Structure 1
Amino acid sequence: MTLYEKEYPGLFHWMGEVNLVKQAQFNNRHKPATAQNITQWAGFMAELRARDYPITIHSDIGNDASPTLYLPLMERALALYPHNKIVWAHMGLSYEQTDMKASEHIAILSRLLDQYPNLMIDISWRILEDYYFSKAANQPLYVAFLNRYAERILPGSDFVAFRGNNFKVYQQELEVTSRILQYLDDNAFRNIALGENYFKLLNLDYQAPMVCKR
C-alpha cells in the first residue's frame, strides 16, 4: 500500500475485490481463507480504517449442495472488523449457488446489514439477474429488499479485463445487471442507480440528482 501510494499519489481509494472464498478459483489452487487467516488481517484492516478506504470482499455464501457452507467466514470478518467499510460482492452468490431460496438469501443479508452498519452489498455480476432477480416469484422480494436497504446497496457491471471482452460485452453486462433498478422506488433509484451511495461511501463532493415527481 505504501509503495502504491508513493508511486501513484492520490489515485487509490478502495481495496478489492479480495477473495475470501471464491469457488470459481478452486481449480487455480485458490483455497478458502481460514478463521486464523482472517484474524491475521488485523494490521491490514487497521491501515484501511486509517485511510477510510472501503474493501470489497468476494465471499461465497455456499453452494447448491451446502447453501451456507462458507457463510461463517464472512460473519467472522464482519465480527472482527465491524468498523471497516466492507462491501460484500455479488450479494455473496456465485455460479456454484444458483438455486438458493430468495427468502433465505434475503434473510441472511438483512440480518448482517442490521447487525453491521458499515456493511454494504454489491449487486454487480449477471449471476444475480440470470438466476435470482429475473424469476417472477423472486423479483418483488428483491425489489422490496433493495428499497428497504436503499442506502446500503451498490450497483456495478462486474465487467473485467479479459480476452474477448470489449465495449459491446460491457454494454450487455451493464444492461443485464441494471434491469432490476427500473422497479425501485424513487429513493432507492437515486441512491443506487444514480450513484448517491458511491458518493457518500467515498466522501466525494457530488450529489445524485433528485428524481422528479410525475
Structure 2
Amino acid sequence: MPNARSCLVALLALTALQCQARDYRYSDAHLHYVDFFQESEGMQRLVKEMDAGGIDHVMISGIPVAKKWHEDEPKRPRYYAGDDAGAYWFSATDVFVAAAVKALPAEQRQRFHPFLTGFNPNDKNADAHIRQMLELDPGLWQGLGEVFTRHDDLTALTYGETPRANNEAMTRIYHLAAEYDLPVMLHANITSKREKNPLYLGEIEEALRNHPHVRFIWAHAGTSMEIHRHQEKLDFLLPTLTRMLHDYPNLYIDLSWTVLRPYLLDAKGIPDPKWLALVEKHPDRFMLGSDVVGRFDDLGKYLASFRPFLDALSDDVAKKVARDNFLAVLPRKGAGVAP
C-alpha cells in the first residue's frame, strides 16, 4: 500500500501534467493599434503575431491623445513621459483604426473588435461626437475606450483639466453607451502615486452605481506602473475588488500589465491563492490584455506570461479568462447599432 506522501506526490505530478496539456486560445482585451505618436507597425504584423501567439480575438483601439514634440526639445521623445512636453486630445486616432480594420479580408475582420476612443472625456460635446462616429460606420464599433481618466502623469501632461470617471461629460457618454449596448473600458487610477488609500475610488463607484446598464471594464483594476514605482503593492486592492465585484454586477476587470505582478504572481512566479479564489468566485468577470501600444513583437509572449495563473485555475474558468469573457462582454444586439 502506498503511503499518503507518495499519493500526494503522484497527485501533484498528475495535476502538473494536466496543466501542461492545456492548450489556451486567447482574446486580447486591451490592445492599442497606435502609440502615443499615432504610429503603428501595421495590421500585417499584428495578424502575424496573433497567429503565432494563439490569439483568436483582440479589442483594438487607438490612443486618445498625441504626444507633442515641443519646439524646445532637441530630440523627439520616445514615450509620453519622455519629457515635459504636453499631450493633446486626438480624434483622428479612430480614423486610423477604422481604416486598418476595414482593409482586412472578411475572414480576418471578425477577429477584431474596435473600440472608439478619440474623444475628450471632459467635453460635454463628446457624446454627440461619438454618436456621429457610430452613425458614420454602423456596426463597426463594439465598445468605447480605453477612456483616460486619472491616468498618472499623462493626465497631468494633457492640456486641460484632469478627467474624472464621474464628471458630467462622462455621464452623458455612459447614457449613450447604454443606448448602443457598448461596453466602456475605463482607465481610472484607484489612488495617486503617494496616497496609500483608495483616494479616487468614489469616482468610479459613482459611475458603476448610477449606470447599472453599462458594462464597465476597469483597466488594470485601477493600478498603474507609475503607482507601483512609488508603492510596490496596494494592500487594499484585493479587499476592495472583492467588495466591488459583489456590489456591482456591471463591473469587469482587465488584468493587463500592472496586475500580473505583483498581484496575480509573486516574485517567484507563484500564483496568489487569494486572487485565484476571487477569480473562481467570479469566473465571468476577468479578462486578459496586453496593453501594447503600436508595437506587437511581444504580444504572444505577454499573454503567455499569464499561464502560471491560468494553470492554477480550474480548466473551465481558465479558458473563460483567457478567451471567452471578453467576447461575452461585447454588444449583444449587433456591434455599435442602436436598438
| Bin of the TM-score, shorter chain as denominator length | 0.7 to 0.9
CA gap 1:93/1:138 in 2 versus in 1, 3 angstroms: farther
Q: Using the alignment, how far apart are the partners of 2:199 and 2:251 within structure 1?
A: 20
1:121 touches 1:154 (CA, 8 Å); kept in 2? yes
1:123–1:177 CA contact under 8 A, matched in 2: no
Amino acid at match of 2:201: L
* More divergent stretch after superposition (87-96 vs 127-136): 127-136
Aligned partner (choices 288, 310, 324) of residue 196 of structure 1: 324
Q: Partners of 1:6 and 1:117 in 2: how far apart?
A: 29
Report the counterpart of residue 250 of structure 2 in structure 1. Answer: 118
Check 1:50–1:6 CA distance in 2 against 1; reply closer, same or farther (3 A cut): closer
- Once the two structures are TM-superposed, the CA of residue 133 in structure 1 deviates from its matched residue by 2.2
**Could you say if the C-alpha distance between residues 150 and 24 of structure 1 is closer, same or farther in structure 2, counting changes exceeding 3 Å?**
farther
| 8 Å contact kept, 1:38–1:76 | no
Quote how far apart the aligned CAs of 1:47 are: 1.3
Give me the whole-angstrom Cα distance separating, in 1, the residues matched to 2:300 and 2:184: 26
Give the CA RMSD over aligned residues.
Answer: 2.5
More relative contact order in 1 or in 2 (CA 8 Å, sep 6+)? 2
Give the 5 Å matches for 1:16-35.
Answer: 16-29=145-158, 31-34=161-164
TM-score by length of 1: 0.80
Q: Once the 2 structures are TM-superposed, how far is the Cα of residue 74 of structure 1 from its aligned partner?
A: 1.3
Give the counterpart of 2:200 among 63, 67, 70.
Answer: 70
Whole-Å separation in 1 of the counterparts to 2:227 and 2:307: 21
Q: In the TM superposition, what is the alpha-carbon distance from 1:85 to its structure 2 partner?
A: 0.9
Alignment partner of 1:97: what SS? helix
Q: CA deviation at 1:153?
A: 0.9
Output the amino acid matched with 1:22. Answer: H
Decide which of 2, 7, 27 is 2:136's aligned counterpart: 7
Q: Quick one: distance in 2 between partners of 1:185 and 1:201?
A: 21
SS in 2 for 1:96: helix
Alignment match, 1:208: none
- Alignment of 1:52 with 2:185, yes or no, is no
Cα drift, residue 177 of structure 1: 4.5
Partner of 2:186: helix, strand, or coil? strand
Deviations 1:3-48 (A, max 9, x none): 322332211010000012110414523653358x623433321111
Q: Say which of 260, 265, 268 aligns to 1:129.
A: 260
- TM-score, normalised relative to structure 2: 0.52
Q: What is the CA–CA distance in structure 1 between the aligned matches of 2:135 and 2:254, rounded to whole Å?
A: 29
> Higher Cα Rg: structure 1 or 2?
2
Asked if structure 2 preserves the Cα contact closer than 8 Å seen for 1:143 and 1:184, the reply is yes
- Measured at CA, do residues 179 and 92 of structure 1 come closer, stay the same or move farther in structure 2, by a change above 3 Å? farther
Shift of 1:115: 1.0
Q: Which residue does the alignment assign to 1:210? A: none
Q: 2:241 aligns with which of 99, 109, 123?
A: 109
Q: Where does 1:32-43 land on structure 2 (aligned, <5 Å)?
A: 32-34=162-164, 38-43=167-172
User: Measured at CA, do residues 41 and 179 of structure 1 come closer, stay the same or move farther in structure 2, by a change above 3 Å?
Assistant: same
Alpha-carbon deviations, 1:119-175, whole Å to 9, x = none?
1111112x22232222168711211111111111111111221xxx242x2233223
**2:237 is matched by which residue type in structure 1?**
H
Percentage of pairs with the same residue? 26
1:100 maps onto 2:233 in alignment: yes
- Displacement of 1:64 in angstroms is 5.1
Aligned residue number for residue 210 of structure 2: 80
Whole-angstrom CA distance in 2 between matches of 1:143 and 1:181? 9
Residue 17 and residue 97 in structure 1: after superposition, are their counterparts in 2 closer, same or farther (change >3 A)? same
Q: 1:32 to 1:177 in 2, by over 3 A?
A: farther
> Is the contact between residue 85 and residue 119 of structure 1 (CA under 8 Å) also seen in structure 2?
yes
Given that 2:147 and 2:186 are in contact with CA atoms closer than 8 Å, whether structure 1 keeps it comes out as yes
Gaps of 5+ in 1: 206-214
How far the C-alpha of 1:179 sits from its partner, in A, is 4.2
Q: For 1:138 and 1:92, how far apart are their aligned partners in 2?
A: 20
